[in-house]
Amino acid sequence: MTRLLRLLPLLLLFAAVLAHALPRSEPVPGGVVVLESDTPVERAWLGKRRLAVLPSDRGSIVVAGIPLSSAAGPVRIRLRFSDGREQERTVRIRPHDYPVQRLVIKDKRKVEPLAEDLKRIRAEQKKKHAALATWSGHIPDLSFRWPVEGIVSSRFGLRRYLNGKPRRPHGGLDIAAPEGTPVRAPADGTVLLADDFFFSGNVVYLDHGEGVISYYAHLSEKSVRPGEKVRAGQVIGKVGKTGRVTGPHLHWGVYLNGTAVNPELFLDSPNPP
């Protein structure tokens, strides 16, 4: 008993580490659903999308990204256990009203691209989709640290109008910072893509494992190459204003099962350092 008591702080610390390693469950469009299973899960799906499965002290934890375009209401998550049995869990997605944001972009071509730009944009979308479809078996550390020092300038999910025209909702979190501020990996990962895109400027994509991908846009500089392994806190680039921007900032995206989710759900502190 005494020995167990002596071990208790260590056990509590271990439990805290496990608890911290998960995003907050927020079952809304653009949010994250965290499901626990006492039976070890071999694979899990939302529709046809494979979901991240993490080991836990009791069994498994399934982490699902809910698309921003999802309607409120029930979604079914399919689990397959190690013994081949399957189970369906129903999760109710709550409605969430994301605010509207109207922006004025001076470079009109970045809002209404020319025919010659469209070819480039389509090629870049292919690269992006390939990056987001990456699946590596590495178990991701989902307790992220802020990738940059600065001020949150646009939250995730804002319904955007650019120069008065409706555009896709904001798929990431914008952090305003002076040009040249170092951008750091929020967790260990592997560089999938380091490229220069029409809308996003200089971009870096990191693979954290189990379909968890993070994305950094508008960089002035990329400091990593595809295939390179990075550690949490390692500099991967610098804040810039390349691509479609109103000023220097980092656009930070987090993707689960190929879908953009709110990066703030992966952070412990509400504000960047």
- The answer to whether 210 and 54 have CB atoms below 8 angstroms apart is yes
Residue whose CB is less far from Zn ion, 96 or 167: 167
Question: Phi and psi at residue 259, in whole multiples of 5°?
Answer: -120, 140
Question: Binding marks (x or -) toward Zn ion, 210..249, rule CB under 5 A?
Answer: ----------------------------------------
Q: Which is nearer to Zn ion, 77 or 239 (CB)?
A: 239
Site for Zn ion in 138-177 (CB under 5 A): 172, 174
Task: Specify the residue, 174 or 264, whose C-beta has the smaller distance to Zn ion.
Answer: 174
**How many residues touch Zn ion (CB under 5 A)?**
3
As to burial, measured by CB atoms within 10 angstroms (0-12 exposed, 13-18 middle, 19+ buried), residue 261 is buried
Say whether residue 26 binds Zn ion (CB under 5 A): no
Output the smallest distance, CB 46 to Zn ion, in A.
25
HSE, side-chain direction, 13 A CA sphere, residue 136: 16
C-beta of 157 vs 172, nearer to Zn ion? 172
* CA pair distance 18, 146, nearest whole angstrom: 19
> Nearest distance from residue 248's CB to Zn ion, in Å?
12
Measured from the CB atom, is 172 or 209 closer to Zn ion?
172
Q: Smallest distance, Å, CB 266 to Zn ion?
A: 16
Backbone φ and ψ of 272, nearest 5°: -65, 155
| CB of 45 vs Zn ion, minimal distance in Å | 29
Burial 174-190 (b: 16+ CB within 10 A, else e): bbbbebebbbbbbbbbb
To Zn ion, the closest distance from the beta carbon of 103 in angstroms equals 10
Considering only 41, 203, 251, 258, the residue that binds Zn ion (CB under 5 A) is 251
Min dist CB 15 to Zn ion, Å, is: 35
Nearer to Zn ion, 172 or 201 (CB): 172
Nearer to Zn ion among residue 141 and residue 174 (C-beta): 174
* Closest approach of Zn ion to the CB of residue 197, in Å: 13
Look-up: residue for tokens 């499901």?
A: 35
Place of tokens 């879908």: 259
Measured from each CB, the residue nearest to Zn ion is 251
Min dist. Cβ of residue 253 to Zn ion (A): 8
48 within 8 A of 76, measured Cβ to Cβ: no
Nearer to Zn ion, 45 or 144 (CB): 144
**Binding site residues, Zn ion, CB under 5 A:** 172, 174, 251
